[in-house]
Amino acid sequence: MVRTRSAAERAAEQDVERRPSLVDDAYAKMKEEILESRFPPGFQASEQEIALRLGMSRTPVHEAAIRLQEDGLIRVLSRRGILILALAPEDMREIYDVIIAIEGRAAELLASLPDVEREAVAAELAGHTAAMADAKQIGDLPGWARADEAFHRTLVERARNERMVRIIQTINDQSHRARMLTLRLRRELGASVAEHQQIIDAIRFGDPAKALDRAHHHRLRARDELLPLLESFGLKHL
């Protein structure tokens, strides 16, 4: 005799099917709120409060919070809810140490690819760099930032090292607020376009040592511009 599933069992199965999507949605929404500072550094609330603000139930918010804690964006406090973590200028210095190492290695790997693959990557990076130049020309700073992020994301993703991709994504999420905070104060947006082109050229011509050097130079200059800006404003947390 074939047993008929109860309504409760069918509902439980449907919940299992929906659950990953709900958690992913909660994770994406919470991350966006954090990166855009709508949940600002130091903000603390219960999971239920955050769920209400997001228009979601508490369970996916709880599971998303665990993932965001692993990303270094929040801290889950026992019986006290969720705390949005702040960054200090010294944190940014450490973050840049990681970025410089990973992006330098990624550029080196890309410059070692076969000719056809190098050309494809160079063309993709050139497209993002052209978008940066266009955005700068019309004063579209958010557009410039999006194209810049796309360039650096592509640089690492096309190097085919999944561990590097995961690490750099976490680092970029942590540093996003500081980059956006100082974007209007930075004076060398044009220099970034020129330096990107130097990285592209080294990759296109298959010169790993130069690609590594140019990637290091680019991020070192950006670090040495950003950190004094943060310190000049006396920002202890961001």
Please choose, from the candidates 109, 204, 215, 225, the residue with its C-alpha nearest in 3D space to the C-alpha of residue 158: 109
Mean pLDDT highest for which of 36-50, 79-93, 197-211? Answer: 197-211
Instruction: Give percent of the chain above pLDDT 90.
Output: 55
The pLDDT score that the predictor gives to residue 20 is 66
The pLDDT score that the predictor gives to residue 107 is 98
Q: What is the mean pLDDT of residues 136-165?
A: 93
Domain topology for 89-232: Four Helix Bundle (Hemerythrin (Met), subunit A) (1.20.120)
Residue type, 154: T
The pLDDT score that the predictor gives to residue 2 is 46
pLDDT band at 12 (very low <50, low <70, confident <90, very high): very low
Provide the whole-model pTM. Answer: 0.74
Longest Cα–Cα distance of the chain, Å, equals 77
What are the extents of the domains in the chain? 7-84, 89-232
pLDDT band at 17 (very low <50, low <70, confident <90, very high): very low
What would the pLDDT profile of 187-197 be if each residue is shown by its tens digit? 677 789 999 99
Task: Tell which wins on pLDDT, 238 or 134.
Answer: 134
Using CA atoms, how far apart are residues 123 and 140, in angstroms rounded to an integer? 23
7-84 sits in which CATH class? mainly alpha
Within 10 angstroms of residue 138's Cβ, the number of other Cβ atoms is: 9
pLDDT band at 16 (very low <50, low <70, confident <90, very high): very low
Evaluate if residue 24 carries a pLDDT over 70: yes
Q: What is the mean pLDDT of residues 67-73?
A: 87
With residue 76 as reference, give the H or E element that holds it: strand 74-77
User: Euclidean distance between the first and final Cα of the chain, in Å?
Assistant: 64
What would the pLDDT profile of 81-95 be if each residue is shown by its tens digit? 999 887 777 888 898
| Residue 220 backbone zone (phi > 0: left; psi -120 to 50: alpha; other: beta) | alpha
The pLDDT score that the predictor gives to residue 5 is 55
Q: What is the mean pLDDT of residues 206-219?
A: 97
Task: Tell which wins on pLDDT, 176 or 95.
Answer: 95
What would the pLDDT profile of 98-142 be if each residue is shown by its tens digit? 999 999 999 999 999 999 999 999 999 999 999 999 998 998 988
Evaluate if residue 6 carries a pLDDT over 70: no
Instruction: Give percent of the chain above pLDDT 70.
Output: 85
